[in-house]
Amino acid sequence: MALLFHATGWPRHVWLAELARLAPGLDVRTQERMGNLDEIEFALVWKPPAGLLEACTNLKLIISAGAGVDHLLALPGLPDVPISRVADPDLTCRMGEYVLQQALMHLRRQPELCACQKRREWGSHLAPPKAAEVTCGVMGLGVLGTHAARMLKGAGFDVAGWARSRKRIRGVRCYAGAEDLEAFLAQTDILVCLLPLTDATRGILSLPLLRRLKGNGALGGPVLINAGRGQLQRDADILAALEEGALKAASLDVFETEPLPQDSPLWDHPGVIVTPHISAISSPRAIVAYALRQIALVQAGKKAENLVDKRRGY
């Protein structure tokens, strides 16, 4: 049995070192050293090139090294084997920290205070509201969204959430499906997007949707935090929403094109906080341990965890 490892854009030596440390006897293959393809039964991958997985005809399980699987499901010729995606406390906690940090930045008017400081201006007119006066609406109540919603609630925010199916989360008003979207948006001051990218969600953060957010809240205008996927939004719509006041500010960790192109107006828009898709990085230590657990399960004749529903796309 061998494991194929490939992660586009991530420091490969760190991952290979972690695999060697945690599973010293494991036969690990890479794109450059595939060896006998029949021996490759598992693949731990992030954004593999087209054709790489297709070449491995004996695969039993593909493990996505991140939580999202859009990078796999878009591949032509993806082998028809189960896909396990990461749902791990390490990654989940990182995302919760990001969402809470950004929500607090906007609550406490930190971007405006930083701008005042740059101008040596005493911004005492920028008194922040308190968290309980602000509603955070979390789109996507999966592993990451549920944890983020709980952290926001714990910090004192009023919290609502929206998903495909109805959830029960203590202290969080839960909405479901297209029929509830209007009511969910109408009460939301800070929209947190933690949806997966699927055919149903692509481009969902459109200008018409952003115009439906609560316009008269304690922050002086709605805020968007998108840490899901860049293709959920249209960068041009975010800019248009900021220009017309449908949005007061945005924290964006993901973009239609990554890295964000040098000439994007998002870079220096005063209402935008740009982070480089690092809200919840996959830690090699945690994810390798996760992957080894999945391999052990399959080898013991059991199902891997967190299997992707390919029809739904997440």
Catalytic residue among 229, 285, 311, 312: 229
Instruction: Collect all residues with Cβ–Cβ distance below 8 Å to 205 and sequence separation of at least 6.
Output: 193, 224, 226, 232, 233, 234, 237, 238
Question: Which residues within the stretch 261-300 sit at the binding site for ligand OXD (CB under 6 A)?
Answer: 280, 282
- Asked whether position 67 contacts ligand OXD by CB under 6 A, the answer is yes
- Asked whether position 233 contacts ligand OXD by CB under 6 A, the answer is no
Q: Which stretch binds ligand OXD (CB under 6 A): 66-74, 122-130, 158-166, 259-267?
A: 66-74
Build a one-symbol-per-residue string for 97-126: x at contacts with ligand NDP by CB under 6 A, - elsewhere.
------------------------------
Spatial contact of 239 and 205, defined as CB atoms under 8 Å apart: no
Binding ligand NDP by CB under 6 A: which of 144, 192, 219, 292?
144
Is 106 catalytic? The answer is no
Q: 147 is written with which tokens?
A: 């944890």
- Asked whether position 66 contacts ligand OXD by CB under 6 A, the answer is yes
Give 2 or 194: the residue with its C-beta nearer to ligand OXD. Answer: 194
Question: Which residues within the stretch 160-219 sit at the binding site for ligand OXD (CB under 6 A)?
Answer: none
Spatial contact of 179 and 185, defined as CB atoms under 8 Å apart: no
To ligand OXD, the closest distance from the beta carbon of 63 in angstroms equals: 12
- Asked whether position 140 contacts ligand NDP by CB under 6 A, the answer is yes
Q: Which stretch binds ligand NDP (CB under 6 A): 2-10, 42-50, 192-200, 244-252?
A: 192-200
What backbone torsions phi and psi does residue 13 show, to the nearest 5 degrees? Answer: -60, -35
Binding ligand OXD by CB under 6 A: which of 48, 68, 161, 284?
68
Instruction: Collect all residues with Cβ–Cβ distance below 8 Å to 80 and sequence separation of at least 6.
Output: none
- Run of H or E residues at 224: strand 223-226
Rounded Cα distance between 86 and 44, Å, is 11
To ligand NDP, the closest distance from the beta carbon of 308 in angstroms equals: 8
- Asked whether position 228 contacts ligand NDP by CB under 6 A, the answer is yes
Judging by beta carbons within 10 Å of its beta carbon (0-12, 13-18, 19+), is residue 220 exposed, middle or buried?
middle
Is 147 catalytic? The answer is no
Q: Does residue 259 have a cis peptide bond before it, meaning omega lies within 30 degrees of 0? A: yes
- What residues are paired with 29 via a beta bridge? 4
* Angle in degrees, 0-180, between the axes of helices 12-22 and 284-299, rounded to the nearest 10: 50
Rounded Cα distance between 297 and 61, Å, is 11
Binding site residues, ligand NDP, CB under 6 A: 66-68, 87, 95, 140-145, 163-165, 194-198, 200-201, 227-229, 253-254, 277, 279-280, 314
Catalytic residues: 229, 277
Contact footprint for ligand OXD (CB under 6 A): 66-68, 280, 282
